């Protein structure tokens, strides 16, 4: 059974739009856990456009379930993650001009910093995941680097879902193949990006799927239905009770 980790970055985006202290992503994280989420994901970006260092510290101190920190492969982020020691770090590509994470990490073409960061975090007992497109070369490179997990980028499947059933089916088959290849190499498989209440069920049912990281759809629904309801509805779909 897949599990839900809620990405609470978008709550911080709303807060920061007013440069005040509310709504607080730390409060959101507590509500998500009380509503049944198995964990919380946050992305501490280099430009701190949503989650701040203060949020990261308080999330570490208060989250009871899995804490997954998304970050770019930089010396600054490695130092912060080494001090915070979340349960899991997910390496993501990061570009200042992007609205959200675009495309997976080029693990196959990565330099020594990614291998060094992975080894350093693993030595501290932190699980390390690579956010990658569902491609063999990046799966094999992630395993070779010593990652414990991969997170498959579901953005393409989600984009196709509403307007191209054939395209979505093809991309879904690619996700399934990638999942079995990664598991055969001993990697734990997560997935995320663009998942919503309409398209999530097939991905959650992929054999061996571990954890889904979902942010925008849940925070968007919470605006209308409340965070508790938004998370409970998604947990039911992810865990097969919807
Ligand atoms: N996984 C990763 C690595 C991401 O960067 C994001 C977006 O922050 C997500 C999952 C969640 O995507 P969404 O907000 O579209 O659910």
DSSP structure string for 13-78: HHHHHHTSS-S-HHHHHHHHHHTT-SEEEEE--TT-SSS-HHHHHHHHHH--SEEEEEE-S-HHHH
Which is catalytic among the residues 43, 50, 138, 153? 43
Relative to the CA of 101, which ligand 1 atom is closest?
Answer: 5
Position 242 scores a pLDDT of: 62
Per-residue model confidence as pLDDT tens digits over 66-101:
999 999 999 999 999 999 999 999 999 997 777 776
Position 99 scores a pLDDT of: 72
pLDDT < 70 stretches in the chain:
101, 242
Between the CA of 155 and the centroid of ligand 1 the distance, in Å, is 9
Position 103 scores a pLDDT of: 85
Between the CA of 42 and the centroid of ligand 1 the distance, in Å, is 9
Using N-to-C axis directions, what is the helix angle for 227-238 and 25-34, rounded to 10°? 50
Q: For residue 20, what are the CA distances in angstroms to 13, 143, 145? A: 11, 42, 41
Query: Cα(133)–Cα(117) distance, rounded to whole angstroms?
Result: 20
Position 201 scores a pLDDT of: 98
Cα distance between the two ends of the chain: 13
Which of 103, 193, 204, 209 to mutate to test ligand 1, by most ligand atoms within 8 A of the CB atom?
A: 193
State pTM to two decimals: 0.97
CA angle 46, 105, 9 (to 5 degrees): 45
181-186 long-range Cβ contacts below 8 angstroms, 24+ apart: 181/136, 181/139, 182/139, 182/142, 182/143, 182/150, 182/152, 183/208, 185/139, 185/140, 185/143, 186/143
Position 97 scores a pLDDT of: 72
3-state helix, strand, coil split of the chain in percent (to 5) is 50, 15, 35
Residue ranges around ligand 1 (CB below 6 Å): 7, 9, 43, 70, 90, 92, 100-101, 131, 151, 192-195, 213-217
Position 21 scores a pLDDT of: 96
Per-residue model confidence as pLDDT tens digits over 102-112:
789 999 999 89
Relative to the CA of 10, which ligand 1 atom is closest?
Answer: 14
């Amino acid at each position: 059974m897949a599990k839900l980790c809620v990405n609470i970055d978008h709550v911080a985006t709303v807060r920061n739009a007013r440069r005040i202290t509310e709504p607080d992503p730390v409060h959101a994280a507590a509500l998500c856990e009380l509503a049944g989420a198995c964990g919380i994901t946050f992305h501490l970006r280099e430009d701190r456009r949503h989650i701040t260092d203060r949020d990261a510290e308080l999330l570490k101190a208060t989250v009871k379930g899995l804490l997954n920190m998304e970050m770019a492969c930089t010396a600054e982020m490695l130092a912060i993650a080494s001090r915070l020691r979340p349960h899991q770090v997910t390496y993501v590509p990061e570009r200042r001009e992007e609205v959200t994470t675009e495309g997976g990490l080029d693990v196959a073409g990565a330099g020594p910093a990614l291998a060094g960061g992975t080894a350093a975090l693993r030595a501290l007992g932190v699980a390390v995941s690579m956010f990658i497109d569902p491609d063999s070369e990046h799966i094999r490179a992630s395993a070779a680097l010593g990652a414990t997990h991969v997170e498959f980028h579901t953005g393409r499947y989600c984009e196709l879902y509403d307007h191209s059933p054939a395209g979505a089916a093809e991309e879904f088959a690619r996700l399934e193949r990638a999942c079995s290849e990664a598991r055969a190499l001993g990697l734990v498989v997560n997935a995320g990006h663009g998942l919503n209440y309409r398209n999530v069920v097939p991905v959650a049912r992929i054999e061996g799927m571990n954890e889904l990281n979902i942010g925008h759809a849940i925070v968007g629904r919470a605006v209308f239905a409340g965070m508790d309801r938004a998370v409970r509805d998604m947990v039911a779909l992810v865990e097969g009770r919807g």
